[in-house]
């Protein structure tokens, strides 16, 4: 007799989360792999590997195998998933592993196949893919299987997925490769062009979290940013303000608002009416950007709700899907 091990995976560009069938998040770590270049051996994954970024000797490379919500390095993604799945629960030779894993709504068939193959290479016997927006809606608890419209915006590290759901399917959707990492890259570019200072992705993320916003907010501040001066190659520092960072993030924020408007423009009138009554739900790690929900609400004219578990909705949705599949 085979025992079934059921797990749901939110395979994200920045972070990967693993949930069990009961809805518990059992793994929540960065989507990073550290590899020995000479032996091609994986040395670490997740938190341990992320701590190596920018601090490794020449023989060790810390990389992100996911890019813009899809697999950029198949072997490393499979190795990372294998490690996370192995750590997620006890396994024996009589255990069959069943996985529900999320993918962006606009992935191609080739990209879908790559995700499925990577999960099977990691040790799963059964694999089911679910769109990130559908998983997020399930995680929020929206009535996606009813004859009523629900709208979800999931802003992760690599993508922004916007979808209107009804009767267990996606009525219309849109996705752009803009998320938390695009915001970090915009900050890196700004520091290089405007202050001649080279900073790393971890520093950019820290700036975004401490000063980033989509609109003015109480308690705006400034911080010292340290990096390498591109003029002389020596360590340097500059001070930037909340207003500076808000200016930098205008472009990615504008792109997110534009894709929301585009999705609403092709939404059926009856579903649009339901959305006005119920509001728009905002999930994903990048949705925590200060003032973003309020700005979307002002631009769209529809209430925006951010659930308490906004960062875990996709992983929890894969867990809901596991339970429904039985």
**Predicted confidence (pLDDT) at residue 253 exceeds the cutoff of 80:** yes
pLDDT tens for residues 194-231? Answer: 999 999 988 999 999 999 999 999 999 999 999 999 99
Q: Considering its fold, how many domains does the chain have in total? A: 1
pLDDT tier for residue 61 given thresholds of 50, 70 and 90: confident
Residue 116 has pLDDT above 80, yes or no: yes
Round to whole Å and give the CA distance between 72 and 114: 10
Q: What is the pLDDT of residue 269?
A: 95
Structure tokens at 325: 């599949």
Which stretch of 119-123, 196-200, 263-267, 304-308 has the lowest confidence by average pLDDT? Answer: 119-123
What pLDDT is attached to residue 246?
97
Mean residue pLDDT of the chain comes to 91
On whether the CB atoms of residues 317 and 20 are closer than 8 A, the answer is no
User: Does the residue 27 lie in any domain?
Assistant: yes
The pLDDT assigned to 183 comes to: 96
| pLDDT digit string, tens, across residues 136-190 | 999 999 999 999 999 999 999 999 999 999 999 999 999 999 999 999 999 999 9
Q: Are 7 and 89 in contact (CB under 8 A)?
A: yes
The pLDDT, as a whole number, for residue 1 is 42
- Section 84-96 average pLDDT: 71
**pLDDT score for 218:** 92
Q: Which two tokens stand for residue 24?
A: 């518990």
Q: Is residue 195 part of a domain?
A: no
The answer as to whether 244 is a domain residue is no
Mean pLDDT to the nearest integer, 278-299: 95
Q: Write the CATH number for 75.
A: 3.30.420.40
Which pLDDT band, with edges at 50, 70 and 90, does 305 fall under? very high
Cα–Cα dist 69/12, whole Å:
6
What mean pLDDT do residues 19-38 have? 90
The stretch 94-108 carries a mean pLDDT of: 85
Instruction: With respect to residue 205, please indicate whether it lies within any of the assigned structural domains.
Output: no
Instruction: State percent of the chain over pLDDT 70.
Output: 95
Range of the domain at 49: 3-134+314-325
Q: Is the pLDDT of residue 283 over 90?
A: yes
* Domain membership flag for residue 213: no
Instruction: Return all residues near 196 (Cβ < 8 A) that are at least 6 apart.
Output: 229, 230, 231
pLDDT at 244 over 60: yes
What integer is the mean pLDDT of 280-304? 95
* Other beta carbons within 10 Å of 223: 14
Residue 228 lies in a domain: no
Give a yes or no: residue 15 inside a domain: yes
Q: Does position 105 have pLDDT exceeding 90, yes or no?
A: no
Structural contact between residues 12 and 25, judged by C-beta atoms closer than 8 angstroms = no
Q: Give the burial class of 232: count Cβ atoms within 10 A of its Cβ; 0-12 exposed, 13-18 middle, 19 or more buried.
A: exposed
> Is the pLDDT reported for residue 2 higher than 80?
no
Residues 13, 216: Cα–Cα separation, whole Å: 28
Quote the pLDDT of residue 325: 67
pLDDT tier for residue 28 given thresholds of 50, 70 and 90: very high
Torsion of CA 292, 53, 104, 116, to 10 degrees: -160
Asked whether residue 37 is domain-assigned, the answer is yes
pLDDT classification of 62: cutoffs 50, 70, 90: confident
pTM of the model: 0.89
Using one digit for the tens of pLDDT, what is the confidence trace for 128-149?
A: 999 999 999 999 999 999 999 9
- How high is the pLDDT of residue 326? 56
> Residue 216's beta-bridge partner residues?
none
């Amino acid at each position: 007799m085979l025992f079934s091990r059921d797990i749901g995976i939110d395979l994200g560009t920045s972070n990967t989360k693993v949930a069990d069938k009961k809805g518990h998040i059992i793994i929540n770590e960065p989507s990073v792999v550290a590899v020995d270049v000479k032996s091609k051996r994986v040395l670490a994954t997740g938190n341990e590997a992320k701590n190596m970024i920018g601090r490794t000797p020449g023989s060790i490379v810390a990389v992100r195998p996911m890019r813009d919500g899809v697999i950029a390095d198949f072997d490393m993604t499979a190795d990372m998933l294998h490690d996370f799945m192995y750590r997620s629960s006890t396994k024996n030779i009589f255990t069959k592993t069943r996985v529900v894993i999320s993918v962006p709504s606009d992935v191609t068939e080739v990209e879908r196949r790559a995700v499925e193959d990577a999960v099977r290479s990691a040790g799963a016997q059964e694999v089911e893919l679910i769109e990130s927006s559908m998983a997020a809606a399930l995680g929020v608890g929206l009535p996606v299987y009813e004859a009523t419209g629900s709208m979800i915006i999931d802003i992760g590290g690599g993508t922004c997925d916007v979808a209107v759901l009804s009767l267990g399917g996606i009525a219309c959707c849109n996705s752009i490769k803009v998320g938390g990492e695009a915001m970090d890259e915009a900050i890196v570019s700004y520091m290089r062009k405007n202050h001649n200072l080279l900073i790393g992705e971890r520093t950019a993320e820290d700036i975004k979290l401490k000063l980033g916003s989509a609109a003015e907010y109480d308690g705006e501040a400034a911080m010292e940013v340290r990096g390498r001066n591109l003029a002389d190659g020596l360590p340097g520092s500059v001070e930037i303000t909340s207003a500076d960072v808000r200016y930098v993030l205008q472009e990615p924020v504008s792109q997110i608002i534009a894709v929301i408007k585009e999705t609403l423009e092709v939404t059926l009138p009856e579903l649009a009416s339901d959305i006005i009554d119920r509001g728009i739900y905002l999930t994903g790690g990048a949705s925590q950007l200060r003032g973003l929900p309020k700005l979307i609400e002002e631009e769209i004219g529809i209430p925006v709700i951010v659930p308490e578990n906004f960062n875990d909705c996709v992983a929890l949705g894969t867990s809901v899907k596991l339970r429904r599949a039985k």
